[in-house]
Amino acid sequence: DLRAGVIAVQGNVSEHAAAIKRAAFENGFSVIVEQIRQAGVVPNCDLLLLPGGESTTISRLLKREGIDAEIKQHVAAGKPILATCAGLIVSSSDAKDDRVTTLDILDVTVDRNAFGRQKDSFEAPLSIDGIDDPETPFPAVFIRAPLIDAIGDDVSVLAWWDENPVAVRQGPVLATSFHPELTPDDRLHRLAFFAEEIITDSPVHPETDV
């Protein structure tokens, strides 16, 4: 089994747990989902999800529990993580807000709640690079979404909305300013974890496959 960790200090935890189970199943994997609230679990995970919610709270709790360093090590080891909305803010290199200590695993700067100032929440049909059935738009739900206002050279943009990047990838890190876990469409979760270069082979816990 693959071991998926959903960072569960705050935010949209159960939706991501359900989405990764569906996405794994469709790719022929079974997955054990761990909800992570303390240090010591991340090192055993093959893949991570960092949900949306409230970024100042998530950032504070990750630091307090010592989960922040473990997430950075996970990424440094090349293991995949999907960060959504507040998760993107926390992953960024700069959220321009003293209350958010960012993980700096994704070379972007963000403006918290920038989309939200225009419109609290909305749904948009996106075209996303790399997803299955690319002709079918992805229903992206934006809720007080962060605006990515600068991206580093190593970051590729997978989707745009209104001339702004809304899905980006840097190596094992895939981040969205919207909430792919809130719709039944799991193509984004599949892209984050099961595209060619990610998890296609046997899981890293062969000893549990008895």
Residues that bind ligand GLN (CB under 6 A): 52-55, 85-86, 89, 112-113, 143-144
Work out how close the CB of 144 gets to ligand GLN at its nearest, in angstroms, rounded to a whole number. Answer: 4
Q: Is 149 helix (H, G, I), strand (E, B) or coil?
A: strand
Identify which of 51, 61, 38, 47 has the alpha carbon closest to the alpha carbon of residue 12: 51
Quick one: 31 or 36, whose CB is closer to ligand GLN?
Answer: 36
Catalytic residue status for 181: yes
Quick one: 4 or 50, whose CB is closer to ligand GLN?
Answer: 50
CB closest to ligand GLN, residue no: 52
Residue 182, C-beta contacts closer than 8 angstroms, at least 6 positions apart: 12, 15, 141
Catalytic-labelled residue, pool 70, 181, 196, 205 = 181
Catalytic residue status for 179: yes
Work out how close the CB of 51 gets to ligand GLN at its nearest, in angstroms, rounded to a whole number. Answer: 8
Q: Is 134 helix (H, G, I), strand (E, B) or coil?
A: coil
Q: Is 147 helix (H, G, I), strand (E, B) or coil?
A: strand
DSSP calls for 39-105? TTSGGG-SEEEE--S-HHHHHHHHHHHTHHHHHHHHHHTT--EEEETHHHHHHSSB-S-TT------
Q: Which two tokens stand for residue 52?
A: 């949306």
Which residues contribute to the annotated binding site for L-glutamine?
A: 53-55, 112, 143-144
Work out how close the CB of 87 gets to ligand GLN at its nearest, in angstroms, rounded to a whole number. Answer: 7
Catalytic-labelled residue, pool 74, 179, 189, 207 = 179
Quick one: 58 or 191, whose CB is closer to ligand GLN?
Answer: 58
Quick one: 16 or 112, whose CB is closer to ligand GLN?
Answer: 112
Catalytic-labelled residue, pool 15, 74, 85, 189 = 85
Identify which of 86, 78, 83 has the alpha carbon closest to the alpha carbon of residue 60: 86
Work out how close the CB of 49 gets to ligand GLN at its nearest, in angstroms, rounded to a whole number. Answer: 13
Which residues contribute to the annotated binding site?
A: 53-55, 112, 143-144
Q: Which two tokens stand for residue 67?
A: 């989960």
What is the maximum alpha-carbon separation in the chain?
Answer: 53
Catalytic residue status for 45: no
* Residues taking part in catalysis: 85, 179, 181
